[in-house]
Amino acid sequence: MKRLIQLLVILLVALPWSAWPSTPNESRGSLVRVRASIQPYDQFRPWQKKSPFGLSGTGVVLSRGRVLVTASLVANRTEVGLEKPGSAEKCAAEVEAIDYEANLALLKPTDDQFLKGFSGVSLGTSLKAGDTAEVWQLERNGEMLRNQAEILSAGVGRYPSDEAGFLVYGVRVSLPKRDDSYTLPLMRNGQLSGMLMAYDRDSQEGTAIPVPMIEHFLKDSSDGKYEGFPTLGVSWSPLRDPNLREEVKAPSDGGILLMRVNPIGTAGRAGLKEGDVLLTVDGFRLDEDGNYRDPLYGPTSIGNLVRTRPYVGAIAKFRISRNGDEMELTGNYDRRARDEVAIPTLQFDLAPRYLILGGLVFQELSGAYLQEWGEKWPERAPQRLVQLFSFQQEMKLDPKKKIVFLSQVLPSATTAGYQHLSGLVLSGCNGTTVGSLEELASIADSTTSGDLVFEFMDDPKKLVLDAAEVKSGGDKLGKAYGIPALRKL
Amino acid sequence: MYRILVFALALTLVGCGRDGQLREARRNVVMVEVTSQTWDYRLPWNPGTVSSARGAGFVISGKRILTNAHVISGARYITVQREADPRKYPAHVKFVAHDCDLAMIEVEEPGFFKGTTALPLGDIPELESVVSVYGFPIGGDRLSVTRGVVSRIDYNSYTHSGRESHLAIQIDAAINPGNSGGPVMQEDKVVGVAFQGFRGDVAQNVGYMIPTPVIRRFLKDVEDGRYDHYVDIAIRWMTLENPAMRKYLGRPNDGRGVVVTDIFSEGSSDGILRKGDVLLSIDGHPIESDGSVRLQGQPVQLEEIVERKFAGDPVELEVWRDKKMERVTLKLRPAEMFSMYEILYEPPPRYVLYGGLVFQPLTANLMAVLSGSADLRLRQTYTLFGQDQLYRETPEPVVLSFILPDPLNVYLRGMAGQLVREINGRRIRALSDVEPALRAGGERSVIRFEGDQRPAVLKKSEVDLAMPRIMTQYGISETSRSDSDGRRLAKGTYPRTESK
């Protein structure tokens, strides 16, 4: 009985804090519902799209009439609409800037009067572990629910569409189930502190994109030319092991060991090399585990130092030890190591390219194609494709050349005997190397009679089609399989 | 892909209804009880876990007993028993062929064979003809017989070795664990050895037997006192059904021939066949465009011609090359480049222990214990080893398979599962390279891996101090087992495990 009373007391006290209906004024000024119609491309049938579905989230109205959401809310969209809380007033919106790595998108209403009367929110300061904030949710009637949240951690962690990691908040918050919760703002003192991007109802923990990421994204996009977050283009190892330190002649403490340096990346062009010990970046000293001391967050991974903080084009200063000799190297932050690759990691909003010749379906390899094989794609997808994608840097694939591969064969009289083939990487056609679908198309188009000889990396090394038959049979093939176009380049 | 589970089939004859057959079976079918030891590749220095199992066997001419390899693999003690004699006689393995799952065992005591008559071998039975399966499957201790018909005659994988496919005959008689090694009989002749089936939740009434061509091949192979491996033509080929492809190769549309797409170096065809060759006949048998040949009127894969041959035997091929006919002869040899995929049973696992770091060659057995923790690079190396002919560069990839925790290697934890590239500047191409490389170099040993993993660095003086401690701690008596014997054994000679 006594326990029950205690419990009641706690509930009575806690409730007003955790879910305090705000004044209608506040929500009118800061939040809108965002409804997105999503229809992803079908990588296995690149001429068609998959079933559409809808997502709805909560967007944050910024002071200059733009709405901030997570990028995953509007990935592969066919349409995006805004809706005022408390009324059914709607307006279409377009995506003004989007960054899938940083998981942020900026929406612009097509009617510039739509957000008139919204005061918008401004960006707050960054939070650290132990700080408290609020997650705002919209009730159906437009009222706002404010749920108290605790920042558990602020450090570098994984984002849904990024491999290396950015600064992320770990958040504990108890969220009631509501519509429009795909994206929710994290607020403190009426200012935006972050965007909740993932939440687990069982553990009541989630992750939020912190304000420095948002700030970077907004500043970058403000000039209309979005450049994105820079990257060093290195892989590294901690240098805690005293034996390893001795072997690489590292100084008495600090620093990390560079295991691979992409020559076209920020570090590579500044002159850093494999085997160097990286001691400081822009004056920040790195410890043996690759952490620097952040004035706000304390020890934080180098990822934040080189990816969130600087902008593309900014000067990058490195202090390294090479064979025991210390030296300073200078370069410019860029993201070429990420962008200039033979096989792109993720592709959203882009229709997969393909070329169908007589029933042989050719595509360009991408991370999106491999992920179509499901969560276990490294085991399930054709192993040659997995190998090229996963080890493209060490295999030194030319970033200017795409990997063209035979993804499947549509059985027809022309492709008789080939129907079981798939996942074969094309090396050339009629004796010419092929580095893109366009190149393959131009060889095929210019061959009007005789043979089309396709050469592959793996067995069978060669396939032959009759060029005239490929040309004449195209319409029939398209009709038989209901494929509207035999190519999309 | 269904996983076919191997189980021991003990056959009891229930009844093909012929008294003569039943009488013969009762005389010649033996129960084989085996205590075996299985190596643990996680703890390669240990003698392994002991287990017991029961299978079947049967007496053939010359007081020889045939059974399955999987019944006796890793055997430490074998006894055989006949229905007519309650005594259990010790037996030992004379020959074992893991690649076709057959073994011959011997009993020294001549009294054992009193009353046996030796079962004769028959031919491939007709489809839908009735056969009887004899053995000692679960469900009782006495001889059991089940009956069924021949459902299918085709190539199938022999799961015991993990990599081989040979002719196998599917029957619909109930075959259960304990049936393995028992004879499948038609009239008074043995037409197969029961050896594997599907688990009940996968398929019903599907059992497989090893047909007599495979058995005869085994018996002939061991005539010289040892068993050699199957031989392989070691090429890849593609069917030649596409008219444009045929025209390109200059072949008429006559439904004949397959095209060679790859030749494995160091294999039987290396230097003899070429990519793009069209194979038109093999030992005089015309090859159809789907890769089949006719053998005694039955369509079979062209490899069946090679299957029945032995190391050193010639194969004659009619080849269409550069738009001309040619005749080539190749000498068959085993496809050793694929031995990595063969599950090893007898040879003790090889390893090198250094400062708590365990180095092992990449084998099917090691992959089985690493499966969950193997990273993409290791899995890809394993998968592509044959296909990409990685063996030419690295005949035997070496893996840092495990790390036994010790203060010495505290900073190296989590590095297990990497492929070793070089040690102290020396390229590692086989396990036998590891120990000499570790002795080379200066005061530190530097172990580098494939990929962008950092090197492992150990001070030699510290390793020397730590080794006795680690070996005591983990109960290891030898720092390595890397003699070349292991490799030879892997290719099929059998070490006598019994003193007689």
Contacts of B425 in chain A (CB under 8 A): none
Partner residue opposite A259 with nearest CB, options B238, B262, B454:
B454
> Do B172 and B282 belong together in one domain?
no
Q: What is the CATH number of the domain that holds B415?
A: 3.20.190.20
Separation in Å, CA of B22 to nearest CA in chain A: 48
Domain range A234-338, CATH class: mainly beta
Q: Spell out the residues 6+ positions from residue A45 whose beta carbon is closer than 8 angstroms to its own.
A: none
Q: Is the pLDDT of residue A174 over 70?
A: yes
Q: How far apart are CA B77 and CA B491, in angstroms?
A: 23
| pLDDT per residue as tens digits for the range B452-485 | 899 999 999 999 999 999 999 999 999 999 765 4
Separation in Å, CA of A383 to nearest CA in chain B: 7
Task: For residue A365, give the 3-state DSSP assignment.
Answer: coil
Q: What pTM did the predictor assign?
A: 0.88
Angle at A297 between CA A294 and CA A300, to 5 degrees: 60
pLDDT for the residue numbered B20:
85
500 residues of chain B, pLDDT tens digit each: 333 444 433 333 333 445 788 999 999 999 999 999 999 999 999 999 999 999 999 999 999 999 999 999 999 999 999 988 889 999 999 999 999 999 999 999 989 999 999 999 999 999 999 999 999 998 888 899 999 999 998 888 999 988 888 999 999 987 888 899 999 999 999 999 999 988 767 777 889 999 999 999 999 999 999 998 899 999 999 999 999 999 999 999 899 999 999 999 999 999 999 999 999 999 999 999 999 999 888 888 899 899 889 999 999 999 999 999 999 999 999 998 888 999 999 899 999 999 999 999 999 999 999 977 788 999 999 999 999 999 999 999 999 999 999 999 999 988 999 999 999 999 999 999 999 999 998 899 999 999 989 999 999 999 999 999 999 999 999 999 976 544 433 333 333 333 22
pLDDT for the residue numbered B483:
63
In terms of Cα–Cα distance, which of B489, B371, B386, B373 is closest to B163? B386
In terms of Cα–Cα distance, which of B128, B286, B102, B300 is closest to B182? B102
| pLDDT per residue as tens digits for the range A13-23 | 333 333 444 44
Please tell me if residue B247 touches chain A, with a CB cutoff of 8 Å: yes
Task: For residue A47, give the 3-state DSSP assignment.
Answer: coil
> Do B328 and B450 belong together in one domain?
no
Alpha-carbon dihedral angle through residues A128, A129, A132, A136, given to the nearest 10 degrees: 80
Contacts of B275 in chain A (CB under 8 A): 461
Task: Average the pLDDT over A292-321 and give the result.
Answer: 95
Q: What is the largest CA-CA distance in chain A?
A: 93
> Do B281 and B160 belong together in one domain?
no
- Model confidence at A141, in pLDDT bands (50, 70, 90)? confident
Rg (CA), chain A: 27
> Do B194 and B60 belong together in one domain?
yes
Q: Is the pLDDT of residue A2 over 80?
A: no
Contacts of B452 in chain A (CB under 8 A): 235, 259-260, 394
A394 contacts B376? CB cut-off 8 A: no
> Do B94 and B189 belong together in one domain?
yes
Same fold, A29-109 and A132-221: yes
Task: Average the pLDDT over A220-230 and give the result.
Answer: 92
> Do B159 and B14 belong together in one domain?
yes
The superfamily (CATH) of domain A29-109 is Trypsin-like serine proteases (2.40.10.10)
Q: Domain coordinates of chain A in residue numbers? A: 29-109, 132-221, 234-338, 354-488
Q: How far apart are CA A253 and CA B252, in angstroms?
A: 75
Separation in Å, CA of A149 to nearest CA in chain B: 35
Q: What is the CATH number of the domain that holds B26?
A: 2.40.10.120
| pLDDT per residue as tens digits for the range B289-319 | 999 999 888 888 899 899 889 999 999 999 9
> Do B261 and B385 belong together in one domain?
no
Partner residue opposite A257 with nearest CB, options B244, B259, B454:
B454
> Do B187 and B65 belong together in one domain?
yes
Please tell me if residue B439 touches chain A, with a CB cutoff of 8 Å: no
Separation in Å, CA of B426 to nearest CA in chain A: 16
> Do B429 and B292 belong together in one domain?
no
The three-state (H, E, C) secondary structure of chain B, written as one string: CCCCEECCECECCCCCCCHHHHHHHHHHEEEEEEEEEECCCCCCCCCCEEEEEEEEEEEECCCEEEECHHHHCCEEEEEEEECCEEEEEEEEEEEEEHHHCEEEEEECCHHHHCCCCCCCECCCCCCCCEEEEEECCCCCCCCEEEEEEEEEEEEEEECCCCCEEEEEEEECCCCCCCECCCEEEECCEEEEEEEEECCCCCCCCCEEEEEHHHHHHHHHHHHHCCCCCCCECCEEEEECCCHHHHHHCCCCCCCECEEEEEECCCCCCCCCCCCCCEEEEECCEECECCCEEEECCEEEECHHHHHCCCCCCEEEEEEEECCEEEEEEEECECCHHHHHHCCCCCCCCCEEEECCEEEEECCHHHHHHHCCCCCHHHHHHHHHCCCCCHHHCCCCCEEEEEECCCHHHCCCCCCCCEEEEEECCEECCCHHHHHHHHHCCCCEEEEEECCCCCCEEEEHHHHHHHHHHHHHHHCCCCCEECCCHHHHHHCCCCCCCCCC
Contacts of A406 in chain B (CB under 8 A): none
> Do B280 and B370 belong together in one domain?
no
Which residue type does B332 have?
L
Please tell me if residue B412 touches chain A, with a CB cutoff of 8 Å: yes
Separation in Å, CA of A89 to nearest CA in chain B: 52
Task: Average the pLDDT over A280-297 and give the result.
Answer: 96
Domain range A132-221, CATH class: mainly beta
A386 contacts B376? CB cut-off 8 A: yes
> Do B39 and B185 belong together in one domain?
yes
Which residue type does A307 have?
R
* A interface residues, B as partner, C-beta within 8 Å: 235, 237, 240-244, 246-247, 257, 259-260, 378-379, 383, 386-387, 390-391, 394, 414-418, 451, 453, 458-466, 469
| pLDDT per residue as tens digits for the range A376-407 | 999 999 999 999 999 998 898 999 999 999 99
Rg (CA), chain B: 25
Q: Which residues of B are catalytic?
A: 70, 101, 180
Contacts of B276 in chain A (CB under 8 A): 462
Q: How far apart are CA A379 and CA B87, in angstroms?
A: 52
Q: Spell out the residues 6+ positions from residue A93 whose beta carbon is closer than 8 angstroms to its own.
A: A34, A67, A80, A81, A82, A107, A108, A109, A110
Cβ contacts below 8 Å, chain A against chain B, sum to: 87
Q: Please provide the average confidence, as pLDDT, over all residues in chain A.
A: 90
For residue B388, count other CB atoms closer than 10 A to its CB: 17
Decide: A144 and A138 in contact? Cβ < 8 Å. Answer: yes
- Is there a domain that residue B490 lies in? no
- Is there a domain that residue B339 lies in? no
- Give the tokens for residue A90: 């709607």
pLDDT for the residue numbered A10:
37
Q: Is B28 exposed, middle or buried (0-12, 13-18, 19+ CB in 10 A)?
A: buried
Domain span including residue B19: 4-224
A247 to chain B: nearest residue by CA? B457
Which option is the CATH number for A354-488: 3.20.190.20, 1.20.1440.230, 3.40.50.10860, 1.10.3720.10? 3.20.190.20
Question: In chain B, how many domains are there?
Answer: 3
pLDDT for the residue numbered A24:
44
B247 contacts A464? CB cut-off 8 A: yes
A275 to chain B: nearest residue by CA? B454
Q: Running DSSP on this structure, what letter comes out for residue A174?
A: -
Q: What is the CATH number of the domain that holds B267?
A: 2.30.42.10
Partner residue opposite B411 with nearest CB, options A240, A257, A451:
A240
In terms of Cα–Cα distance, which of A389, A240, A215, A377 is closest to A308? A215
For residue A110, count other CB atoms closer than 10 A to its CB: 12
pLDDT for the residue numbered B173:
87
pLDDT for the residue numbered B18:
59
> Do B377 and B302 belong together in one domain?
no
Q: Is A105 exposed, middle or buried (0-12, 13-18, 19+ CB in 10 A)?
A: buried
Separation in Å, CA of A78 to nearest CA in chain B: 36
Beta strands A132-138 and B130-135 are: unpaired
Q: Is A200 exposed, middle or buried (0-12, 13-18, 19+ CB in 10 A)?
A: exposed
A237 contacts B454? CB cut-off 8 A: yes
Decide: A66 and A192 in contact? Cβ < 8 Å. Answer: no
Angle at B308 between CA B303 and CA B311, to 5 degrees: 95
- Is there a domain that residue B489 lies in? no
Q: B259, B385, B452: which to substitute to probe chain A, counting the most A Cβ within 10 Å?
A: B452
